[in-house]
Chain A
Amino acid sequence: MNLFRLFGDLSHLASILILLHKIQTTRSCRGISFKTQALYVTVFVARYLDLFYDWVSLYNFSMKVFFISSSIYILYLMKVRFRPTHDPSIDTFRAEYLVGPCVVLALIFNYKFTFPEVLWSFSIFLESVAILPQLFMLQRTGEAETITTHYLAALGAYRALYIPNWIYRYFSEGVVDPIAVIAGLVQTALYVDFFYVYFTKVLQGQKFELPA
């Protein structure tokens, strides 16, 4: 564990708490892509099956349990509790175009051709693109509530912090995880446009609005 990874994970944790806070206080999931959230559940379930057979640490275990349970809870909030506030007509990104290629990539690129390893690879590839329906929705509507942009910023920061973590681990442990690194770089790159608007507008006190 190093500080980059710790702060990355905390930022990931914070992003989920921000999202829960947004849904609970506004009593609405307006502006949140159900597809992205459903993809995250898929990612966590596929990746954290090792919860049952591989012990890393109490920290690792608790985080995995939190990520799986909170992401499922968010789906419940969106589909059941605050269902009327979710508008599927603007959440139109075709998630199957993401899942299909990720399955294929995972079958080709994995550390061992076993069920858990292929699932792990699949989850890494899927996570890297899972935010696309959300970003697509943002692009479509052209604006977002400030709290939603904080959620995305925390999520993006988590990804960005994993990069110095890998550099650190390369020098301190000689460990490189090429699948995680390449997918992670792609994932972080997807946030570049968002961060540009976030830094130049939201953090200056303006509303998140994309130029028409």
Chain B
Amino acid sequence: TPREGHHDEL
């Protein structure tokens, strides 16, 4: 899962 608090997709 992605790093929490960091969403790099739009």
Interface residues, chain A, with chain B CB atoms under 8 Å away? 5, 9, 12, 47, 50, 54, 56-57, 60, 63-64, 67, 111-112, 114, 116-117, 120, 162, 165, 175-178, 180
Contact = CB atoms under 8 A, between A and B. Distances in A.
Interface string B1-10: 1101111111
Among B2, B4, B6: residue with most chain A CB under 10 A: B2
A114 B3 CA distance: 14
A155 to B, nearest CB: 13
B4 A60 contact: no
Contacts of B6: 54, 56
Interface of B: 1-2, 4-10
B10 A60 contact: yes
Top 3 closest pairs, chain A to chain B, by CB: A56-B8, A177-B2, A112-B4
A109 to B, nearest CB: 12
A5 B2 contact: no
11 contacts: A5-B9, A54-B5, A56-B8, A64-B10, A111-B2, A112-B4, A116-B5, A117-B4, A117-B5, A177-B7, A180-B9
Contact of A67 (B2, B7, B9, B10): B10
Contacts of A180: 9
B10 to A, nearest CB: 5
A19 B5 CA distance: 32
Nearest to B8: A56
A176 B3 CA distance: 11
